[in-house]
Structure 1
C-alpha cells in the first residue's frame, strides 16, 4: 500500500504540466520533491502536502480552529446540503480539475464528486489536517494571490466562505472555466452572531464584487438549520471568527445553554470566465 506521501507524488506527476514554481513561475518537475528549472525545491511532507507559500497566515487560523472545524464539517457533516447543491449545479467527471481556494481543512472539497481536486490555503494547520484525513487529493500551502498553477489550467475554481483573488482565479481558469463562490447571507450562524450584538449583516460588497468580475452569472440560495448539542456549540465557538471577540462569560453560557439549532444561510454564485 502506498504511503500518503507517495500518493501525493503520483497525483502531482499526473498534473505536473499544470503546475509552476511560486517563486519564478517556471515549469516544474516531480521526483521525490517538486523542483523548477531554476532549482527552487519543495519537499513533500510525510502526509503529502507541499508548502509553496512565501509568507505565513494569520496566527488565529491555528490547529485548534481547524480541528474543531473538522468536527463540524468533516465528522458531523453540517454542510452536506451545500455539497449536494454544488454536486447538482455543474457536471463532474474524474478529469475535471477543481481548485478550492481557501480550502481550510479540506472537508468540503473532499466530499464533492470524483474529480482532480487541489486544495489551497495559506493556513498551514488547515492543510496539514487535510493531508492527514484526505490523502487522495492534492493539498498545497499557498497564497491565493500567487497560485502555483499555470495560466488556463483549471476547469473550476471554488471559493467557499473564503476571500477571493479574482485576478488569480481568472488567470488559472481555462477559457469558459467556472468560478463558484459561496457567500454567507444575513442569517448565517445567526445564533452566534446574536451573541455579540454585531448589528446588521451586509454582504453587498462581496456580492457586488463577484458581479463585477462575472457579470453573466447565476445565483441560488440555500437555507436550513441543523441540530447542535453542547459539544457542537463548543466546536462552533472555537472555529468561528464571529466568536473571537466575545466575552468569555457569553461564550461559556452559549456552550452550556445555547440554542440547539444552527442556521446555515448561503448564496451560491456561479459564473464563467470569458473565452478570450
Structure 2
C-alpha cells in the first residue's frame, strides 16, 4: 500500500502547472501560494468567492466530523472504496480527487482500504477553508486544497478517479481533469434517503423526480449501485449533527427544527446511489 500527495496542481489564476518548492507552490508566471503550517494550500482566488467565508462553517464541519467518525456512513465509504480500487493496475500510481471532500473522511477510508501493491496519490478539495483545515489536521498523506469545483486547480487529463459525494458536480471541469477512461464516482441521495427526518421537518414531502438522469457530455454511464440500510441514532447530539450535514438545516422553518431538536432517538433510512461514469476517450 502506498498513499502519496497528488502533485499535478494548476495555478487557479492562469492554469499553468504549479511546482512545489519547500512550503510554496509556484507557476511559471510567478504566482505563488503558501502551504499553511497545518498542511493545506489555499487555491481559491478572492475574485472567485461568492462570499467572504464560503462553504460549511466551522460548526458544521465539527458536526460532520463527529457524525462520520462515529461510522454512521461507513457502508457508503466501503462501497465507494471498492469502486475506486476495482481494476486499478498494480504497477502504477493512480491519481484520485475528492471534489468537495469536507473534512476528509472518505479519502481516509479509501486510504485504509488500499491493499499491498496498490498506490494512490490523493487530493482533497473543498470550498470551505474550515473543512480543508480539519482534513489536513487528521491526515498528512494527501494534498489538501481550498478550491472550487467550478475552477479545479488541477492539470488537464491527470486524474484516474474523481469522487463527488452529495456535492455540486461541474461536469465540464470533471471531464477536463480526468484522463480518457478515468472514472467519475458520484454519490447522490436516493428517494428514501433520510425520509423519516424529512417527514418530521416538513408538513408534506415533495414528490420524487421521475425518469433517468441524463448522462453528462463527455461521459458514458457504466452502472449505478444502491447502498441502503436503517440507521439508528441515539441522543440529541447525533440527530443534530445529521441535520447539520444536510441542506434541510437551512430549508426547514423554526418549527421543523424545533421538532427535530426535541428528539432523543431516531431511526432513519440511508438510501444513496453510487453512479459510475467513465470519461470518454474522444471528445
Q: Same fold (TM over 0.5)?
A: yes
Q: Determine the structure 1 residue equivalent to 2:117.
A: none
Match of 2:72, SS state, is coil
Whole-angstrom CA distance in 1 between matches of 2:210 and 2:50: 26
Question: Aligned pair 1:224/2:222, yes or no?
Answer: no
The offset of 1:91, in angstroms, is 3.8
The offset of 1:64, in angstroms, is 0.6
- Verify the 8 A CA contact 1:79 1:108 in the aligned structure 2: no
- Verify the 8 A CA contact 2:171 2:216 in the aligned structure 1: no
Match of 1:129, SS state, is helix
Higher deviation after alignment, 227-236 or 35-44: 227-236
Match of 2:175, SS state, is helix
The offset of 1:96, in angstroms, is 1.6
Structure having the larger proportion of residues in strand = 2
Whole-angstrom CA distance in 1 between matches of 2:161 and 2:209: 23
Q: Determine the structure 1 residue equivalent to 2:142.
A: 137
Structure having the larger proportion of residues in helix = 1
Q: 2:17 aligns with which of 14, 22, 27?
A: 27
Whole-angstrom CA distance in 2 between matches of 1:61 and 1:198: 27
Q: Which runs of 5+ in 2 are unaligned?
A: 115-119
Higher deviation after alignment, 150-159 or 126-135: 126-135
Q: 2:98 aligns with which of 89, 100, 110?
A: 100
Q: Determine the structure 2 residue equivalent to 1:152.
A: 157
Whole-angstrom CA distance in 1 between matches of 2:272 and 2:192: 8
Q: Determine the structure 2 residue equivalent to 1:111.
A: 109
Match of 1:257, SS state, is coil
Q: Which runs of 5+ in 1 are unaligned?
A: 1-9
Whole-angstrom CA distance in 2 between matches of 1:198 and 1:235: 23
Q: 2:44 aligns with which of 50, 53, 60?
A: 53
- Verify the 8 A CA contact 1:68 1:236 in the aligned structure 2: yes
TM-score for the superposition, normalised by structure 1: 0.86
The offset of 1:236, in angstroms, is 1.5
Q: 1:275 to 1:215 in 2, by over 3 A?
A: closer
Figure out how many residues of one structure are paired with residues of the other and give that number.
Answer: 262
- For residues 136-157 of structure 1, the C-alpha deviation after alignment (integer angstroms, 9 at most, x for no partner) is 2111111112111111100000
- Verify the 8 A CA contact 2:76 2:227 in the aligned structure 1: yes
Q: Determine the structure 1 residue equivalent to 2:242.
A: 236
The offset of 1:211, in angstroms, is 5.5
Question: Aligned pair 1:256/2:254, yes or no?
Answer: no
TM-score for the superposition, normalised by structure 2: 0.84
- Verify the 8 A CA contact 2:220 2:280 in the aligned structure 1: no
- Structure 1 stretches (4+) deviating beyond 6 angstroms? none
The offset of 1:120, in angstroms, is 0.9
Q: Determine the structure 2 residue equivalent to 1:6.
A: none
Q: 1:164 to 1:62 in 2, by over 3 A?
A: same
The offset of 1:249, in angstroms, is 4.4
Whole-angstrom CA distance in 1 between matches of 2:231 and 2:206: 23
- Verify the 8 A CA contact 1:57 1:122 in the aligned structure 2: no
Whole-angstrom CA distance in 2 between matches of 1:204 and 1:157: 27
Whole-angstrom CA distance in 2 between matches of 1:68 and 1:91: 35
The offset of 1:41, in angstroms, is 0.6
- Verify the 8 A CA contact 2:123 2:144 in the aligned structure 1: yes
Whole-angstrom CA distance in 2 between matches of 1:198 and 1:25: 47
Whole-angstrom CA distance in 2 between matches of 1:170 and 1:125: 27
